């Protein structure tokens, strides 16, 4: 399998973002988005997904975090779509359950080529630090639309909002790691009866 590395740049009036990912990395994150809790969550994705992620981001944070968080999801999704290529020889599906104290989340992914986000999460607080918890949905919606994948996120329990979010992002990283991993039994084959994804 050739190198699975991609760089994507998104420039708008609201944000200027460049993302580079290596799907076969060591779990390293270099990032300063200006949204500290988002940086912490992206570190979970990189570390638990064993994906190297480099992000340069400037956004209109003087307004709020919305555009930066959403556009990071979009740009990261585009980078995944490019890096994963035609999907030959990968597992395609991934899943993970991750606990953190009282919180437990399940994430299931399918690099199906069909965008779909199904998120059942009731955060116990409206914000974590200064980050509006509604923006997690915006991040994941942008990601799935541009990675062209199906993503199910269920927070099964938890009363600490920080723990809820952290279990989601750790499980997301682990599910991604499973889905994009080379499957030695599928070597060179498309993981679909249709012949394309």
Q: Which two structure tokens, joined as six digits, stand for 164?
A: 């809820």
- Which pLDDT does position 196 carry in this prediction? 85
pLDDT over threshold 80, residue 29:
yes
pLDDT over threshold 90, residue 33:
yes
Element (H, E) at 154: strand 150-157
Q: Is this structure's pTM higher than 0.85?
A: yes
Per-residue pLDDT of 99-126, as tens digits, reads 999 999 999 999 999 999 999 999 999 9
- Which pLDDT does position 178 carry in this prediction? 98
DSSP 79-141: HHHHHHTT-TTB--EEEEEEEETTEEEEEEEE--SS-EEEEE---SSSEETTEETHHHHHHHH
Percent of the chain beyond pLDDT 70?
Answer: 99
User: How many Å apart are CA 56 and CA 19, to the nearest integer?
Assistant: 7
Domains, in order of start, for the chain: 5-180 (3.30.230.40)
pLDDT over threshold 90, residue 68:
yes
């Amino acid at each position: 399998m050739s190198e699975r590395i991609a760089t994507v740049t998104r420039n708008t009036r609201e944000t200027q973002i460049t993302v580079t990912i290596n799907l076969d990395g060591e779990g390293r994150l270099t990032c300063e988005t200006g949204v500290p809790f988002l940086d912490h969550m992206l570190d979970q994705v990189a570390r638990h997904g064993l994906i190297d992620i480099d992000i340069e981001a400037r956004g209109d944070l003087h307004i709020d975090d919305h555009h930066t968080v959403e556009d990071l999801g979009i740009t990261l999704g585009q980078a995944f779509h490019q890096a994963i290529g035609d999907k030959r020889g990968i597992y395609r599906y991934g899943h993970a359950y991750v606990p953190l104290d009282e919180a437990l989340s399940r994430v299931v992914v399918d690099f199906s080529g069909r965008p779909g986000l199904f998120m059942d999460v009731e955060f116990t607080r409206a914000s974590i630090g200064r980050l509006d918890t509604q923006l997690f949905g915006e991040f994941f919606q942008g990601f799935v639309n541009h990675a062209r994948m199906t993503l199910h996120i269920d927070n099964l329990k938890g009363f600490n909002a920080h723990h809820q979010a952290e279990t989601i992002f750790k499980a997301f990283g682990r599910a991604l790691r499973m889905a994009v991993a080379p499957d030695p039994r599928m070597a060179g084959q498309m993981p679909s009866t249709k012949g394309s994804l």
